[in-house]
């Protein structure tokens, strides 16, 4: 019985992780509400997730707001670009729906490809912003290089995000409480496990042995 109440018990570790993800999700949603601050919020979220997947000591609120303030300018500029692209894509979708059915597939394919590129770039650039202090041009270039260079992991992240998106849309009425509690951080936590290895390599760590091998 004492094992069950041990703080190192697997059950308590899992519950602790879920609690942290809920707190982080609420903070992320709250700071995304002004819309223009969403980039800084997502960057801060990835900063906390990075600490979580590495098993490091995590102070959700403090680390979140430290990253939010530190990366606000760069993250906001990049986010505004994503936002403009998103608005253009939304207009394209409305135009697409008005086209004859035989013309929809071609434009639909283009919109889908552009959408995947945008998601992939966001999936790398915000974690990069949370970790490294480089000019925006360098961050975007590195995000593109990582997306191509680690394509299997990139594809895996797209599958994870796509699966959650389909579930949210299909079960929207039932998923609203879940979206509020874990809708952003749970899928991104799964993605963080995928990109964690990438960043460990960038930091010069020996991923196989777990030891730093700075060269």
> Rounded to two decimals, what is the model's pTM?
0.89
pLDDT attached to residue 26: 97
- Rounded CA gap, 151 and 163, in Å? 18
pLDDT score, position 142: 95
Q: Is 126 helix (H, G, I), strand (E, B) or coil?
A: helix
Per-residue pLDDT of the chain (215 residues), as tens digits, is 445 455 567 888 889 999 999 999 999 999 999 999 999 999 999 999 999 999 888 899 999 999 999 999 999 999 999 999 999 999 988 888 888 877 788 888 888 999 999 999 999 999 999 999 999 999 999 999 999 999 999 999 999 999 999 999 988 878 889 889 999 999 999 999 999 999 998 888 766 544 433 33
pLDDT tens sequence across 66-102: 999 999 999 999 999 999 999 999 998 888 888 887 7
Distance CA 92, CA 159 (A): 24
- Name the token pair of 29: 């949603």
Q: Find, among 102, 104, 85, 84, the residue nearest to 94 by Cα.
A: 104
DSSP 26-47: HHHHHHHTTSTTHHHHHHHHHH
- Residue whose C-alpha is closest to residue 155's, from 183, 119, 114: 119
Listed by start position, the domains of the chain span: 10-206
User: Phi/psi at 91 (nearest 5 deg)?
Assistant: -65, -40
> Using one digit for the tens of pLDDT, what is the confidence trace for 133-157?
999 999 999 999 999 999 999 999 9
Q: What is the pLDDT of residue 214?
A: 34
């Amino acid at each position: 019985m004492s094992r069950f109440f041990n703080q190192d018990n697997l059950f308590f570790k899992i519950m602790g992780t879920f609690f942290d993800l809920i707190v982080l999700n609420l903070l992320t949603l709250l700071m995304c509400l002004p819309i223009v601050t969403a980039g800084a919020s997502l960057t801060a979220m990835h900063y906390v997730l990075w600490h979580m997947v590495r098993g490091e000591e995590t102070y959700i609120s403090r680390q979140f707001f430290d990253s939010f303030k530190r990366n606000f300018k760069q993250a906001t500029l990049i986010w505004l670009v994503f936002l403009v692209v998103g608005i253009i894509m939304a207009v394209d979708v409305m135009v697409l729906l008005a086209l004859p059915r035989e013309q929809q597939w071609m434009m639909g394919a283009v919109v889908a490809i552009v959408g995947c590129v945008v998601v992939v770039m966001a999936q790398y650039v915000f974690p990069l912003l949370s970790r490294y202090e480089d000019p925006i041009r360098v961050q975007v270039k590195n995000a593109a290089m990582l997306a191509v260079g680690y394509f299997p992991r990139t594809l895996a992240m797209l599958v994870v995000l796509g699966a959650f998106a389909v579930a949210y849309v299909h079960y929207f009425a039932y998923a609203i409480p879940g979206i509020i509690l874990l809708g952003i951080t749970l899928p991104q936590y799964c993605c963080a496990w995928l990109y964690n290895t990438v960043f460990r390599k960038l930091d010069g760590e020996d991923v196989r042995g777990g030891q730093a091998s700075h060269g």
